Amino acid sequence: MNHRYSRHIALSEIGIEGQQKLTNARVLVVGAGGLGCPILQYLTAAGIGKIGIIDFDKIEISNLQRQILFDEKTIGENKALIAKKKLERLNGSIEIKAYPEQLTYQNAINYFKEYDIIVDGTDNFETRYLINDAAILTDKPLVYGAIYKFEGQVAVFNYKGGPSYRCLFPSPPKGEAIPNCNDLGVLGVLPGIIGTMQANEVLKIILGFGTVLSGKLLCYDALQMQIHTMILQKSITEINKIKSKREEFSRNKFSNELCNKNAPTIHIKEALLRNNIQLIDVRESHEMPFIKGDNILNISLKELKENLSKIQANKEVMIFCQSGYRSKKAVEILNKEGIYNCWSIEESAIEIANVLADNKLEINNKIDEKI
Amino acid sequence: MKLKIKYFGMLTEITQCTEEEIPLLKGKVQDVIRFLIHKYPLLENRDFKIAQNQIVVSNQATLTSEEIALLPPFSGG
């Protein structure tokens, strides 16, 4: 061990004792994309004893411009599993755990409990707020990073009683959904820079040296090569709001604030009792579990507007997604297009899959009747 | 005296600049926001926080500084 980490150990600020702290540390990285790849690579190289990787997504060729753990041979594979494989070649002496699934309100608390530090490398507000809230409820420091075209933000939240992401932005943006890097474009090196800064904060927290970026928001501009650091105030009210909702959390009642509160919702079992329904899955085609059937249309949220003609207006349209966020967005989109007989199904895709499996016969009969 | 305004992220697409100077205002932070929304109506539909002299403040805070930054949330990763 000493030879592998000799350049760390040679630093009097780290030494053998510091390296041992890294070995004992457990870090969970949510998202193995543009930010997650450099974060994971440096944490693995540094010898963090246990690293968790959560990502449900699969590798696409357009990811290779910035997601440096992947290559042409891994296209189509799950990001968390390939990242684990690649990182194990870099450092076989540490434990790497891959979770090829989506972080949800149901699993977040249990996963976070297994780790000392949580790192946010995700690409959407829904998961960012979920991570923030779960970090508060499990009392874990959160190393946050986010990017937009040529700019990035870095901060450490919930560190030794410091501010959280909600102290800065109490609730998700209400405006039009802000597109992610896939839709918008991003300078390839930018997540490399921001992710490396996040890895640096992780090391500082574990090693207990330097000044952790807590209570501050670092704003990086790659074009001007400028850094501005803003000071944040803690909002006890915002933090207590999360703490008081501990019970609702795992029951997925939180996500409602992210979306159209007016979107009517329905339970899957209730939806199946109706006579004339059409089910629409607005998830991306690769998301697990696959839910297919004669009566189920698979149209991803971003393709919904172009596929309105596929929706049978004479039926009651029941929409679902992975967690209930996108399905509410979909209802909103359809309402705007003049389709009002639609509902968002409250249950997650996994729960829906189970219910559908139990009811398979009934559903098929119902379709036969109507056709 | 002038008030220096800095814009970040997607806000620069509305303002077409990363910083500029506006006439010095008195009052609260929200008065600056009102002035800027008047100048750039599209800002009204955007979410952002204000930092005054590099300290993030509420819109009710009294204007004390010569430098205001508009910080939007980023979601990319």
Residue with tokens 């939007």: B72
12-41 in chain A: CB under 8 A from chain B? 31, 33-36
Residue A180, pLDDT > 80, answer no
Check A228 against B77: CB less than 8 A apart.
no
The DSSP secondary structure of A337-368, one letter per residue, reads TT--SEEEE-S-HHHHHHHHHHHHHHHHHHHH
CA distance A161 to A165: 13
Selected for mutation to probe chain B from A228, A230, A325 (highest B CB count within 10 Å) is A230
CA distance A314 to A341: 9
User: What is residue A335's predicted lDDT score, i.e. its pLDDT?
Assistant: 84
Burial pattern A254-273, b for ≥16 Cβ within 10 A else e, equals bbbebbbeebebbebeebbe
Name the band, by pLDDT with cuts 50, 70 and 90, for residue A264.
confident
CB A53 within 8 A of CB A67: no
Residue A256, pLDDT > 90, answer no
CB A201 within 8 A of CB A143: yes
1-60 in chain B: CB under 8 A from chain A? 6, 8-10, 18, 45-47, 49, 51, 54-57
Check B74 against A186: CB less than 8 A apart.
no
State the amino acid at position A159 in one-letter form. Y
Q: Is A151 helix (H, G, I), strand (E, B) or coil?
A: strand
Q: Which residue of B has its CA nearest to A182?
A: B76
Higher local confidence (pLDDT), A135 or A327: A135
CB-based contact, A65 to chain B, within 8 Å: no
Check B73 against A35: CB less than 8 A apart.
no
Give me the residue from B49, B54, B73 closest to A229, CB to CB.
B54
ipTM, two decimals, is 0.95
Chain B: give the shortest CA distance to residue A316, in Å. 33
Chain B partners within 8 Å of A33 (Cβ):
77
Residue A248, pLDDT > 90, answer no
Residue A367, pLDDT > 70, answer no
* Residue in A320, A121, A312, A98 with CA at minimum distance from that of residue A201: A121
Name the band, by pLDDT with cuts 50, 70 and 90, for residue B14.
very high
Residue A360, pLDDT > 90, answer no
Check A146 against B76: CB less than 8 A apart.
yes
Using only the alpha carbons of chain B, give its radius of gyration. 12
Q: What are the structure tokens assigned to A287, written together?
A: 């998301």
Chain A partners within 8 Å of B55 (Cβ):
230-231, 233
Give me the residues paired with residue A320 across strands: A281
User: What is residue A254's predicted lDDT score, i.e. its pLDDT?
Assistant: 56
For A187, residues 6+ apart whose C-beta sits below 8 A from its C-beta are A149, A150, A222
CA distance A166 to A257: 13
Residue A291, pLDDT > 50, answer yes
Chain B: give the shortest CA distance to residue A150, in Å. 8
Residue A57, pLDDT > 70, answer yes
What is the dihedral sign for C-alpha A13, A19, A20, A24? positive
State the amino acid at position A181 in one-letter form. C
Q: Which residue of A has its CA nearest to B73?
A: A169
User: What is residue B5's predicted lDDT score, i.e. its pLDDT?
Assistant: 97
Phi and psi, residue A363, nearest 5°: -65, -45
Higher local confidence (pLDDT), A325 or B53: B53
* Residue in A28, A43, A228 with CA at minimum distance from that of residue A141: A28
In the sheet that A342-345 helps form, which strands lie side by side, from edge to edge?
A: A265-266, A342-345, A316-320, A277-281, A296-298
Phi and psi, residue A210, nearest 5°: 65, -165
Work out the mean pLDDT of chain A and round it to a whole number.
90
Check B77 against A229: CB less than 8 A apart.
no
User: What is residue A261's predicted lDDT score, i.e. its pLDDT?
Assistant: 56
Residue A99, pLDDT > 50, answer yes
Q: Is A80 helix (H, G, I), strand (E, B) or coil?
A: helix
A214-224 pLDDT, tens per residue? Answer: 999 999 999 99
B25-47 pLDDT, tens per residue? Answer: 889 999 999 999 999 999 998 99
